[in-house]
Amino acid sequence: MSEQRYDARAIEARWQRVWADERTWEVTNEAGGRDAVQSSYVLEMLPYPSGEPHIGHLKCYAVGDAIAHFRRRTGHRVLHPMGYDAFGLPAENHAINTGVHPRESTAVSIASFQRQFRAWGISIDWSRELATDEPEYYRWTQWIFLELYRSGLAYRKDAAVKWCPTDQTVLANEQVVDGRCERCGAEVEVRQLEQWFFRITDYAERLLRDLDEIDWPEHVKTMQRNWIGRSEGAEVSFTCEELGIVYPVFTTRPDTLFGATFFVLAPEHPDLMRLAAGTPYERDVHEYINHALTESNEERGAAERPKTGVPLGRTVTNPVNGEQLPMYVADYVLMEYGTGAIMAVPAHDERDYEFARAFDLPIHRVIADADGGDDDALPFTGDGPLVNSHKDFDGLPNREALERIVDWLQRESKGHATVSYRLRDWLISRQRYWGCPIPVVYCDGCGLVPLEADELPVQLPDIEDYAPKGRSPLAAAEDWVNTTCPVCGGRARRETDTMDTFVDSSWYFLRYCDARNDEAAWDPAVLREWMPVDQYIGGVEHAILHLMYARFFTKALADLDHLDFQEPFAALFTQGMITKDGAKMSKSRGNVVSPAAIVERYGADAARCYVLFMGPPDQDAEWSDEGVEGVYRFLSRLWRLTAETAQRLSADDADRRDWSGTLTAADLLDSAGEGPDLQLLRKTHWAIDKVSGDLRRFAFNTAIAAVMELLNDCSRLREAASAMTLAHALQNAGSLLSVFAPHLGAEVYERLTGERVWEAPWPQADPALLESDVHEIVCQVNGKVRDRVSASADADPDELKALCRSAANVRVHLEGKEIVKEVVVPGKLVNIVVR
């Protein structure tokens, strides 16, 4: 009797054993490069192993695996590897609380991830598995660091940086969201510290431009464009004559230079006290600066906050007209952007306008309304002709004047055209233990000394006390810290900061290609076969951080001749979040759905199909327990009908003979005419066509729905159709479904054909079976459906018109009316327009 039940657990265990024993999903590196074989690299974002995988992982791998299977079955050699982003704070914080070494707790999590990924039946090439905390891996992370250092792309600088008081470490700009630590949510502080940076800003232009070359979702590209924040403008020099200091400012509006009426420096500007010294404002400036620096970013950044500031008691000369502009310090000017100083044009800038009103400063309009008048309220930020500027420019449309003014500044050496970016250099040092050591030492004699490649890896030592104390816990490991200088042999101390874990994940996709190479990080010839990644899959939360860093690494390494491509991920797919009770799943909310529990109860195939069936995979979707059950019922029905049909097939010798698994209309026409067999055969080929098309456009939800439709027809026609036709339909259902439900797909296929579905080519729809000889034609009168008629596929428009006019309900609606027009869409509809 157990034969009659769909036993997901037994079926899944059986096939997982086959795949593990036979290493089914391993691929070798072919010497021929990617032209020789159709190679395809399908990759999901590197998981951070913490506890066990959540439902988002399941969805991500269900998507990636469907793509990987589909590509394999359509003739590609597919690289589909797995690894772990194993360094990171959660394991370290756990160590602080429990004393368990992060390496141990991470290993436990990794084992749990491995177990789950196997239980889900994901087709992974396990021979390339890696973890970023292994010395065999981070040795090469350190090597890349040194390559960047030698080319000037890694450097130390003293800067105002973001410090997370909870995590006790500095953060990159990208890791601060709304003034808070992206990881723990604590409000960040600003500290002046010397830190390690990667010069990602050198790549701003290329990171922006090359977005046009890659097949990524538009919203992700937009987010990156916003983050890079390119602005074209000019740098213009203003001079404080009294002190003889030149202040360059960046402006996107050099056309408004003649309207500048004051000048503002950021509170962090280093010259402030020097400027104010000896003026009556010295004390006020001092107080203002102190106050500004104690305010949080959030307070300062508040949009509708009234403008504040203090005069400096000095003036600068406007280079275009020699006017003396009073200088101010005000916190609406940011030190991080541009030069930390601005020329203020209140007539044409909202912020400057507010400040001018608050401080009763003059407002000089220099751009007229589009029609030349001056009726529009100030500040006027639109376009119009220049006025009150200079005889050479007055009257010119401002956009044209802008260019002429920049040319003129350039000739006069008062300024030049330039481009400014919002993107900042990537701060990569962290004052924490569980990360990749930075491979440099500080020698008493030689100063900062980078290690040589053959001295790598700098191993992370074991320590007793993980608690951060404002500096890396590594600083307390005296035996490790004290070393000798590789240059002079003298006393030296190791760098005790570790790298941001985003460094580890910025190149792992390269390592997979050549994961066991212990001579080099990779062999460029091997990379040529697989890179760039053909399809990358992951959450949109990495739209800026990981995806920008990985692109930067790829470009930098290409410039250093280690790679011969510019973009790591040719195509990107971002899957939507699965929510529960309308919110993101989280332990604190108590709305977490455990994939392990779902797989335990319904099987991996049902769990995988459900997360894909929920809706379009790039959209967020709400979890429903009833939904999984529905999919489970569908799989059960497929299994039962397969078992029943297999039995019928073996009992019926007539149907069994010459069974090849391929049927055509001709096979069935003489025996069955237009009966149920042909109907089912047509539906089968419709499903093949539908699923193939849907897979190409990542419409997994409708692909699964199509297999459901096919199965519904199988059920409906199971008595009427022959066992052979039914078997053909079910075999194809199993074959199509195997990209989503690989275990049951394999089981169904094997039962009906004796073959392995993953070795079978992807089914091809027979075009002759996709088109029916008879079409149902919709009959509309004035655009409203009034009847339906059937017509042969080759009926000409006049026949269709006649057919429709005579349809019973159409005649009712034509009664007493005059036919004005008839529109015919062959094979679809006829619309009769009447008056």
Partner RNA sequence: GCGGGCGUGGUGGAAUUGGUAGACACGCCGGCCUUAGGAGCCGGUGGGCGUAAGCCCUUGGAGGUUCGAGUCCUCUCGCCCGCACCA
| Binding residues among 463-502 for RNA as defined by CB under 7 A | none
Q: Which of 342, 593, 611, 687 binds RNA (CB under 7 A)?
A: 342
* Contact status: 792 vs RNA (CB under 7 A): no
Q: Taking the CB of residue 449, how many other CB atoms lie within 10 A of it?
A: 16
Instruction: Report, in Å, the least distance between residue 462 CB and RNA.
Output: 37
Q: Give yes or no for a contact between 190 and 169, defined as CB atoms under 8 angstroms apart.
A: no
Instruction: Report, in Å, the least distance between residue 709 CB and RNA.
Output: 4
Q: Characterize 650-680 residue by residue with b for buried, 16 or more Cβ atoms within 10 angstroms of its Cβ, and e for exposed.
A: eeeeebeeebebebeeebbeeebeebbbbbb
Instruction: Report, in Å, the least distance between residue 644 CB and RNA.
Output: 11
Sheet (strand 774-781) strand order:
784-792, 774-781, 829-834, 819-825
* Contact status: 4 vs RNA (CB under 7 A): no
Residue 525 or 819 having the CB closest to RNA: 819
Q: Which of 484, 782, 790, 806 binds RNA (CB under 7 A)?
A: 782
Instruction: Report, in Å, the least distance between residue 811 CB and RNA.
Output: 11
* Contact status: 338 vs RNA (CB under 7 A): yes
Taking residues 747 to 776 in sequence order and writing x for each that binds RNA by CB under 7 A, - otherwise, the string is -----------------------------x
Identify residue 661 by its one-letter amino acid code. Answer: G
The helix/strand/coil state of 180 is strand
Instruction: Report, in Å, the least distance between residue 240 CB and RNA.
Output: 18
Q: Give yes or no for a contact between 759 and 745, defined as CB atoms under 8 angstroms apart.
A: no
Q: Distance between CA atoms of 172 and 500, rounded to whole angstroms? A: 9
Tokens 């029905």 identify what position? 637
Rounded to 10 degrees, what is the CA torsion of 251, 254, 256, 258?
110
Q: Give yes or no for a contact between 421 and 201, defined as CB atoms under 8 angstroms apart.
A: yes
Nearest to 443 by CA among 490, 408, 400: 490
Residue 205 or 336 having the CB closest to RNA: 336
Q: Where are the alpha helices (DSSP H) in 475-573?
A: 478-481, 501-504, 508-511, 524-530, 545-559
Specify the stretch interacting with RNA by CB under 7 A; choose among 83-91, 146-154, 349-357, 386-394.
349-357
Q: Which of 61, 262, 332, 434 binds RNA (CB under 7 A)?
A: 332
Nearest to 80 by CA among 99, 67, 95: 67
* Contact status: 420 vs RNA (CB under 7 A): yes
The helix/strand/coil state of 71 is helix
Identify residue 548 by its one-letter amino acid code. Answer: M
Strand partners, 191: 161
Instruction: Report, in Å, the least distance between residue 659 CB and RNA.
Output: 25
Residue 491 or 788 having the CB closest to RNA: 788
Residue 375 or 626 having the CB closest to RNA: 626
Site for RNA in 202-241 (CB under 7 A): 218-219, 222-223, 226-227, 229, 231, 233
Q: Which of 524, 675, 693, 826 binds RNA (CB under 7 A)?
A: 693
Q: Give yes or no for a contact between 555 and 507, defined as CB atoms under 8 angstroms apart.
A: no
Maximum CA extent, the chain: 109
| 830, HSE (Cβ side, Cα atoms, 13 Å) | 29
Q: Give yes or no for a contact between 603 and 639, defined as CB atoms under 8 angstroms apart.
A: no
How are the residues of the chain apportioned to helix, strand and coil, as percentages rounded to the nearest 5?
Answer: 45, 20, 35
* Contact status: 266 vs RNA (CB under 7 A): yes
In angstroms, the Cα distances linking 779 to 795, 818, 826, 829 are: 15, 17, 12, 6
* Contact status: 694 vs RNA (CB under 7 A): yes
Instruction: Report, in Å, the least distance between residue 686 CB and RNA.
Output: 10
Site for RNA in 651-690 (CB under 7 A): 690
* Contact status: 809 vs RNA (CB under 7 A): yes
Specify the stretch interacting with RNA by CB under 7 A; choose among 425-433, 471-479, 677-685, 692-700.
692-700
Q: Which of 358, 793, 802, 812 binds RNA (CB under 7 A)?
A: 812
Q: Which of 397, 615, 661, 675 binds RNA (CB under 7 A)?
A: 615
Taking residues 161 to 180 in sequence order and writing x for each that binds RNA by CB under 7 A, - otherwise, the string is ----------------xx--
Q: Which of 627, 661, 675, 826 binds RNA (CB under 7 A)?
A: 627
Q: What is the DSSP letter of 250?
A: E
Q: Distance between CA atoms of 217 and 61, rounded to whole angstroms? A: 19
Q: Which of 102, 340, 473, 763 binds RNA (CB under 7 A)?
A: 340
Q: Taking the CB of residue 517, how many other CB atoms lie within 10 A of it?
A: 14
In angstroms, the Cα distances linking 669 to 375, 482, 648, 664 are: 82, 86, 22, 9
* Contact status: 553 vs RNA (CB under 7 A): no
Instruction: Report, in Å, the least distance between residue 640 CB and RNA.
Output: 7
Site for RNA in 702-731 (CB under 7 A): 702, 704-705, 708-709, 712, 715-716
Q: Which of 478, 626, 719, 818 binds RNA (CB under 7 A)?
A: 626
* Contact status: 454 vs RNA (CB under 7 A): no
Residue 484 or 619 having the CB closest to RNA: 619
Q: Which of 248, 616, 675, 826 binds RNA (CB under 7 A)?
A: 616
